[in-house]
Chains A and B, each alone.
Chain A
Amino acid sequence: MSAVTNIPLLSSAAGVQSPEARLALAEALLGANDLQSFARQALDWLGYHAGVEQTLVAVADPASPNLLLIAERGIPSPVLADFTIRRDDETHPIIRAMDRAEVTFFASTASRETPFAGMGFHAFPLRQDDEAPSLGLLIAVSSSPEVHPDLLWVARQLSRQPGRLMARPGLAESGFGQERMLLYSIINAVTDPILLTDTEGKLIIANTHAEKLFAAPEDASEGWRRAVALNNMLFSAALSTSAVTQTDLARRELLLVDPLEGSDLLFELLSSRAKDERQGTYVVSILRNITDLARAREEIEESYRTLRLAQAEVRDERHRLDLIIDSVADPILVTDPEGDIVLMNEPAERLFNVPVTAAEAAQRNVRANGANLTSFVSNVLTRTGEQRYRGEIQLTDPSSGRALPVEALAGTILSEQGELVWVVTILHDLTEALEKEVLYERVKQASAELERKVQEATAELAQQNELLRRQHIELEQASALKSQFLANISHEFRTPLNAILGYTHMLLHGVTGAITEPQRKSLTRIDSNSRHLLALINDILDITRIEAGRMPLNLTRFRVSDLIDEVMSELEPIIRRSNLAVTTRPRSLPMVKTDRQKVKQIVLNLLSNALKFTPSGSVTLGTSLDTKTEMVGIIVRDTGVGIPEESQSKIFEDFRQLDNSPTRGYGGTGLGLSICRRLAQMLGGSIELTSRLGEGSVFTLRLPVRPRRR
């Protein structure tokens, strides 16, 4: 099935090459020695100058039953492999196209029975004139039926030459021509540059990709040529190194220059030595462009390094973060919105994570803690719009089982899109706070208790005071009653005593007649004992009155010297009997205002005591005046028995005489000094004593010149 049509020429003259280019080709064709190089130059020219890239030339060699492929450019290898067409197969569309006079266009739909199945192409028969038989074909792949004028011109050029060239030896003998073509096309189809060189690196065969690197067209620029020269040099150097000497496959990298771009290209050079019996040893080299690969590798390495750095940084960051949050004593947890723990510090681990080998109770506690935390976090999630959430969680210390109340402070972390990503929770142990609170409460209680006790004690004290006060009153009343009783009893004593004294007196005075001397002696004893009894009663009465506060003061102004004279005269009989030198040495004193009767009673008492307790020597009655304190002193000094120091304070006590035996050597009631001291105190004064045993005593009555308000 043929699709023969009238082939229109490409009407536009734009693609038509200048006469100079055609001339150059024509010259080249004329110089060509064999058909193959002739055809290849023509096809190359078409490729370079006319932009017709996929072309082939096949000839009908009488020596071969098949059409012989002598040159191709850009034809896919499967097409070349299928290109086996018998010369005598006159039904074959390509053979039929070869026998026609004009060019034939096969549309892509019509090419099914040709090797070009699925492609459109033109087939130009090659014949010297219309009468001569066709020598071969020029096929150019094309999707359009229009014919490039250059293509038509090249076809004509080719048609003129075959007769001349085919007559030469070489073509015929090349029984392998077809296969060489195939090999060429295969090699050319390989995108990697492939070279066949001798051991010095001198080029024997190169595919088109290799030619781009190692061969420069004649019209190439200076830079291009230099780049090609450099590449050849680099390649030779690479081959001359050790690997080439071996037959094994050698693999190394080779840096070349892209002649067109001027950029560096990195190739992997695979070279191996091969031996050919005719041509000797040669080297097959395949260059694989690994520039992009190397770049990619570099980029990968770079990004890997960056990644590693970033990872390291992240790791450092993470490590720092871990250190920081681990250094916080409070448990910190980061949870996702589901409540699952994403991150936690060491204190938190103790609460929410135990080894599986831990005791069952600890595991249970940890699960309970986790549940409590989850419930807290879910609470946080419901609080949308709040950045922070505070709450309390009741946790349990896993190991000890101790209740652990904690305050939880949660913050939410949002993504850039505002979605909640994490919840950060910090737990703060409230145990101490609670304990402090409890302690504080206890202290408060204790304080209250103390206060209550103090109040109780105070109340009790007040009660006791009240009781004491009442007792005091009762005692005073009792004392007053006692005084009253003593006053009454002494009165009652005195009534009969009065009668005894009176009758004794009358008997002694002979009122009832004369009495005998023994009777007088007895009556005298009765009289003296009765008087002693009376003195006792009077003294008791005095003390009672003083103690009851019922001894009235009768204040008068008088001279102390007068009072002394009076006392001296009253005691004159006793003084006379005593055989003592009794003298008075009164100084001139101011008048005193006090109770004269009581002062006299005191002085009488002191002087009679002095007379009583002084067996021999002297008794002196003197006075003194202290102007500063306004006190007068009445001093009774004797040379008597004296009073030992330890007894000096005792003699002022009630019923106290130094000789306390029933048969006392000295008379007196033993109440004298006691009464004297009480009286002196009543008058705002005092009685002082200085004495030494065996040397005598000095009693000094001190009295204020005038009464003082007390």
Chain B
Amino acid sequence: MGDTRNPLVLVVEDYQDAREMYAAYLQFSGYRVAEAANGLEALDKTRELMPDIILMDLALPKMDGWEATRRLKADERTRHIPIVALTGHALAGHAEGARQAGCDAFVTKPCLPDALVTEIERMLSARRTEVTGSRRASRTSGKTKHT
């Protein structure tokens, strides 16, 4: 993984339309994107590609997002990779569960693509200052917030 290349985002999402939409918008926004449809696949892809950041849906088949997060955070090699949880379940406990599992941030679905990109940029820039690396997002896009 060369430092000059654009950051790699692993999008873990079982709902294909949403996954491809985020992937398309992230690529449009200048990121490299890898995709996984479930928790197991997410673990494999992470160990294989070592992405810069992981966008993790929590409700997943085979292995859910919490379990996958716990395992990644428990792995020495993947512990440093920031994970942004995507939760559609607004009921109490989901967000807290996500934090306890080791998620670094979480975004409530529905989440518009540009809001997601904004969050990813924020996480990555925070990581850069921590690591004192020169990694940076190539572009920011205009953002709109819903009320």
Contact = CB atoms under 8 A, between A and B. Distances in A.
A495 B89 contact: no
B146 A541 contact: no
23 contacts: A487-B89, A495-B109, A496-B17, A498-B88, A498-B110, A499-B15, A499-B18, A499-B21, A502-B18, A502-B25, A502-B110, A505-B112, A505-B114, A509-B141, A509-B142, A511-B25, A511-B28, A531-B146, A534-B146, A545-B90, A545-B91, A550-B91, A551-B92
A494 B112 contact: no
A543 to B, nearest CB: 12
Contacts of A498: 18, 88, 109-111
B90 A487 contact: yes
Interface of A: 487, 490-491, 494-499, 501-503, 505-506, 509, 511, 531, 534, 538, 541, 545, 550-552, 570, 604
Nearest to B112: A505
A636 to B, nearest CB: 17
Nearest to A508: B144
Contacts of B110: 494, 497-498, 501-502, 534
Interface residue SS majority, chain B: loop
Interface in B75-119: 88-92, 109-114
B63 interface: no
B24 A511 contact: yes
Interface in B30-89: 88-89
A550 B96 CA distance: 13
B25 A506 contact: yes
A604 B111 CA distance: 21
A537 to B, nearest CB: 9
A505 B145 CA distance: 12
Interface in B11-31: 15, 17-18, 21-22, 24-25, 28
B147 interface: yes
Contact of A499 (B17, B89, B91): B17
Contact of B92 (A494, A497, A550): A550
A9 B114 CA distance: 204
B115 to A, nearest CB: 9
A487 B18 CA distance: 20
Contacts of B146: 531, 534
B112 A502 contact: yes
A495 B88 contact: yes
A494 B88 contact: yes
Given A494-B109, A551-B92, A502 B22 contact: yes
A492 to B, nearest CB: 9
A570 B147 CA distance: 9
Closest 3 CB pairs of A and B: A498-B110, A502-B21, A499-B17
Given A501-B112, A502-B22, A505-B114, 10 more contacts: A495-B109, A496-B17, A499-B15, A499-B17, A502-B18, A502-B110, A502-B113, A506-B24, A550-B92, A570-B147
A604 B112 CA distance: 22
Contacts of A501: 110, 112
Given A497-B110, A501-B112, A511-B28, A491 B21 contact: no
Contacts of B92: 545, 550-552
A501 B25 CA distance: 13
B144 to A, nearest CB: 8
A544 to B, nearest CB: 9
A538 B90 CA distance: 9
The residue in A496, A499, A538 that gathers the most chain B C-beta atoms within 10 A of its C-beta is A499
A498 B13 CA distance: 13
Nearest to B142: A509
A487 B146 CA distance: 21
Contacts of B147: 570, 604
Contacts of B25: 502, 506, 511
A506 B21 contact: yes
B113 A491 contact: no
Contacts of A509: 114, 141-142
A497 B88 CA distance: 11
Contacts of A505: 112-114
A502 B111 CA distance: 8
Contacts of A551: 92
B76 to A, nearest CB: 34
Nearest to B110: A498
Nearest to B146: A531
Nearest to B141: A509
